[in-house]
Amino acid sequence: MKKLLLLLPVIAFFSCEKEDPVIPNEEELITTLVYTLTPDGGGDPVTFSFTDLDGDGGNAPVVVTEVLASNTTYSGELSLLNESVSPAEDISDEVSEESLEHQFFYSFTGADLSVTYNDSDANGNPIGLKTKVITGNASNGQITITLKHEPDKSASGVSDGQIANAGGETDIEVTFNVEIQ
């Protein structure tokens, strides 16, 4: 019995709860994605936006799209926000700061357009906050924008924007209808 009483403090010491671990890159809440396309020759910007202030479930997200001009080159810029807090938090800054750990992917169907990266991380791999978009003939389709956290940027095709071998975790994925006139 005495041995058991001597062991109780040792057991108690090792079974005490420790503080919660610090998660170094805890996923941020992204409520808003805005993709702004500015015609290279001048003109009004075209904006695609996705807003889901209450997150998954609840109210449906608000998705806004505008018409793209055919045979036009656009400079694209993505903005990510967490608008569930006031003032809104700019998640784009965090993605830029942690560019080695992030990459956007752009995939499209039906629409006659191409997207190329116009920014890169410290290792020369693409990020995708800034892009070049070239539209072709009048058409309709969709574009899906996906942000991957910790993709394998050295995997086959990833630096060319092919998501198939990227791996990593999806931080946000949004599909927009696209109309080119």
Yes or no: say if 49 and 63 are a contact pair by the CB < 8 Å rule. Answer: yes
Tokens of 8: 């109780």
Structural contact between residues 61 and 50, judged by C-beta atoms closer than 8 angstroms: yes
**Residue 64: how many CB atoms within 10 A of its CB?**
11
Q: Which residue has the tokens 């560019």?
A: 99
- Separation between Cα atoms, residue 142 and residue 28, nearest integer Å: 26
Interval 129-154: pLDDT, tens: 999 999 999 999 999 999 999 999 99
Instruction: Give the pTM.
Output: 0.84
- Among 129, 167, 135, 161, smallest CA distance to 34 is for 129
Residue 21: band (very low, low, confident or very high) from pLDDT cuts 50, 70, 90: very low
